[in-house]
């Protein structure tokens, strides 16, 4: 998509939730000269002021102000708030939308949304808020669109073109498939990492344990430092998928426990080798050499 | 420890296993001008030749050659082979050791060793072999020494001084405590990461799953790309501890499953918050900002 593609340009963009994701989306489009005007809507005045100061947005209004008037003349509305706030916000936005306005979101679970062009950039950072936003956050990352049967094709094309302008690779699938895949590759590992750190933290020897944590521990547990509120919402929203994934994972842990109990070196090596080969085959994940502590 | 500390200097160093760890130990001492002569012993001629070419070692012999003669006049012997090979090697080395030679190792589990100054640098990398060795591998990393009651105090002091010369922070504890702690913070997360990748890899939709893997997935699974043979040996050597850790972890997973099943948002938030606070409190692990995909 070049800058000449009219699908990849926006006149007025309204970003509801000017945090890491919404702010980075605006910055990425600005860096490609693909947006004329950005209006930020959010809960926190301080965060909006920071976004104004960084020129992420041109104007801003909090949810306590009559912000809905900013929907007037909007070409694209991006809702990038926590998942739990989206249904209420969308209900509040829907009646005020103009006929040609395209609306999309950036949430982690898709089936909670009744309409529009649901989108999910597979990108993020532990830091949050507009202060953490960067124009390059989505570069070479996946963005998944999950259009509904009633979603207009033109709107899907337009939202896809905007994400491509941000540098993302765009794929489409249905919402159920999205939630199943993300449940497996993102929501489950978050449960596993939180559970691991939580189990150590409640032990009386936790301090001694953490003192010997190395780089393997650091990377394995990094996602356990993410926002508990955000992950509570995501986990509950995708609860059925997650419980199923968790059951499959616990079966695999049982196989490891059995191999250890039986001192079955051959089975253990087979299990480890299968996993290591699969992990090493993921070339796209190998760009950053990691370290490992045995 | 300064270079003037005689404890931190070596005349003749014999490194058995010139891989990432053994090679980096030699390079680190060389970079501090703390060793006169390094002899490398190993299985693979090609790896030894690479070590010679990089000046990691001055001389080298394979295990098929009469390598034991190189123990003559050695001040320090470091055994940095895979854990499973150590008992045999130590049995072969012990009768040839001179009275003043200090012998130490760099293995991940400690209770398999009958004597000497058992040591474990908590550092590593996915790459292996002398080609991956660097002088800075141990800088600001922990090295744990686990002296036995019969280990001489002077030998412990000397080995500790050498690791400090490599830039490591040295701590001492008994072997059982070492294995318990490492079982919790290193061996268990390896089982968890291998089990996670392995469970996905055997699914028919594995390709679609891996295609949407982001940076959270990448970091969480990085350790699952480590050497299966090495980890089979470590896991079996520390089997009792690991089975106990695994049982505690599975209890914690049950708590998460229950919270999800009951849609108990308050309990879920409590569990997640406890873990996130513990993880964020680990300031020493925070030096590298990570990214996270919801």
Residue A15 has pLDDT above 70, yes or no: yes
- Show the tokens assigned to A279: 């992990």
Q: CA–CA distance from B164 to each of A66, A191, B9, B80 (Å)?
A: 63, 38, 11, 17
- Placement of tokens 């509040």 in the chain: A92
Average pLDDT over residues A206-223: 90
Closest-CA distance, B80 to chain A, in angstroms, reads 12
- Checking if the pLDDT of A157 tops 80, the result is yes
User: C-alpha dihedral over A235, B246, B171, B127, to 10 degrees?
Assistant: -80
State mean pLDDT over B108-123.
71
User: B198: which chain A residues are within 8 Å (Cβ-Cβ)?
Assistant: 252, 271-272, 274-275, 278
Distance from CA of B233 to the nearest CA of A (A): 8
Note whether A220 contacts B216, CB cutoff 8 Å: no
Mean pLDDT of chain A: 88
> What is the distance between the alpha carbons of residues B273 and B48, in angstroms, rounded to a whole number?
50
Determine whether the interchain pair B275/A216 forms a contact, defined as Cβ–Cβ distance below 8 Å: no
Higher-pLDDT residue of B290 and A68 is: A68
What gap in Å lies between CA A257 and CA B95, rounded to an integer? 39
Q: Which two tokens stand for residue B42?
A: 């190993």
Residue of B194, B253, B293 lying closest to A246 (CB–CB): B253
Instruction: Pick from B271, B279, B285, B290 the residue to mutate for testing the A interface (most A CBs within 10 Å).
Output: B279
What is d(CA B11, CA B223) in angstroms, rounded to the nearest whole number?
36
Indicate yes or no: CB of B191 within 8 angstroms of CB of A253. Answer: yes
Contact A181/B225, CB-based, under 8 Å?
A: no
Average pLDDT over residues A176-196: 96
Structure tokens at A271: 């299990």
Lowest mean pLDDT among A106-120, A142-156, A208-222, B144-158: A106-120
What residues of B are in contact with residue A139 (Cβ under 8 Å)?
none
**How confident is the model over A86-100, as a mean pLDDT?**
84
**Residue B286: Cβ within 10 Å count:** 15
Contact A280 B223 (CB under 8 A): no
Compare CB distances from A285 to B208, B218, B228 and report the shortest one's residue. B218
Task: Say which residue the tokens 């490398």 belong to.
Answer: B40
Contact B93, B108 (CB under 8 A): no
Phi, psi of B124 (to 5 degrees): 175, -170
> Residue-wise over A161-198: b if at least 16 C-beta within 10 A, else e?
bbbbbbbbebbebebebbbbbbbbbbbbbbbbbbbbbb
| Residue B274 to residues A199, A280, B28, B115, Cα–Cα distance (Å) | 9, 33, 39, 41
**CA dist list (Å): A109 to A134, A146, A169:** 23, 10, 19
Give the closest of B142, B196, B251 to A212, CB-based.
B142
Q: What element of type H or E holds A36?
A: strand A35-42
CB A163 within 8 A of CB A169: no
What's the pLDDT band for A205 if we cut at 50, 70, 90?
confident
Q: DSSP character for B117?
A: B
Inter-chain Cβ pairs, chain A and chain B, closer than 8 A: 342
Indicate yes or no: CB of A246 within 8 angstroms of CB of B257. Answer: yes
Considering only alpha carbons, which residue of chain B is nearest residue A221? Answer: B220
Reported as a pLDDT band with limits 50, 70 and 90, residue A96 is confident
Q: Please report the pLDDT score of residue B1 as a whole number.
A: 43
Return the residue matching tokens 């010679």.
Answer: B52
- Coil/strand/helix, residue A267: helix
Is the pLDDT higher at B289 or at B30? B30
Q: Rounded to an integer, what distance in angstroms lies between the CA atom of residue A138 and that of residue A155?
A: 20
Question: What is the C-alpha separation between B171 and B177, in angstroms, rounded?
Answer: 12
H/E stretch holding A38 reads: strand A35-42
Residue among A193, A208, A243 minimizing CB distance to B257: A243
**CB atoms near residue B114 (< 10 Å):** 12
Instruction: Determine the longest span between alpha carbons in chain B, in angstroms.
Output: 68
* Contact call for B280 and A189, based on CB within 8 A: no
Question: pLDDT band for position B291 (50/70/90)?
Answer: very low
Contact B110, A212 (CB under 8 A): no
Residues of B in contact with A179 (CB under 8 A): none
Residues 6+ apart with CB under 8 A from B7: B1, B157, B158, B161, B162
In whole angstroms, give the CA distance from residue B215 to residue A137. 12
**Which residues of chain B are within 8 Å of residue A210 when distances are taken between CB atoms?**
185, 278, 282
8 Å CB contact of A276 and B224: yes
Q: Please give the residue that has the higher pLDDT: either A286 or A190.
A: A190
| ipTM score assigned to the predicted complex | 0.80
Cβ-based neighbour number of residue B186 at 10 Å = 25
Chain A residue with CA closest to B270: the answer is: A228
């Amino acid at each position: 998509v070049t800058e000449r593609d009219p699908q990849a340009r926006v006149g007025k963009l309204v970003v509801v939730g000017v945090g890491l994701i919404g702010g980075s989306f605006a910055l990425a489009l600005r860096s490609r000269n693909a947006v004329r005007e950005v209006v930020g809507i959010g809960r926190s005045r301080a965060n909006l002021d920071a976004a104004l100061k960084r020129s992420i947005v041109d104007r801003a209004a909090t949810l306590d102000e009559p912000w809905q008037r900013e929907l007037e003349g909007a070409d694209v509305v991006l809702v990038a708030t926590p998942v739990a706030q989206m249904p209420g916000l969308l209900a509040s936005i829907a009646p005020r939308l103009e006929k040609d306005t395209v609306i999309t979101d950036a949430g982690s679970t898709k089936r909670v949304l009744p309409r529009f062009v649901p989108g999910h950039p597979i990108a993020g950072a532990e830091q949050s808020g507009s202060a953490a936003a960067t124009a390059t956050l989505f570069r070479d990352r996946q963005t998944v669109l999950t259009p509904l049967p009633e979603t207009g094709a033109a709107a899907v094309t337009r939202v896809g073109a905007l994400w491509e302008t941000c540098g993302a690779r765009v794929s489409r699938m249905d919402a159920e498939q999205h939630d199943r895949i993300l449940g497996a590759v993102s929501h489950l590992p978050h449960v596993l990492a939180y559970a691991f750190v939580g189990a150590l933290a409640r032990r009386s020897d936790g301090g001694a344990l953490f003192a010997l944590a190395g780089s393997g521990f650091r990377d394995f547990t990094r996602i356990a430092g993410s926002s508990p509120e955000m992950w509570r919402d995501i986990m509950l929203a995708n609860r059925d998928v997650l419980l199923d994934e968790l059951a499959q994972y616990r079966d695999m842990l049982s196989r490891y426990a059995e191999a250890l109990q039986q001192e079955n070196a051959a089975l253990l090596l087979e299990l480890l080798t299968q996993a290591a080969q699969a992990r090493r085959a993921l070339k796209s994940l190998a760009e950053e050499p990691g370290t490992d502590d045995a």
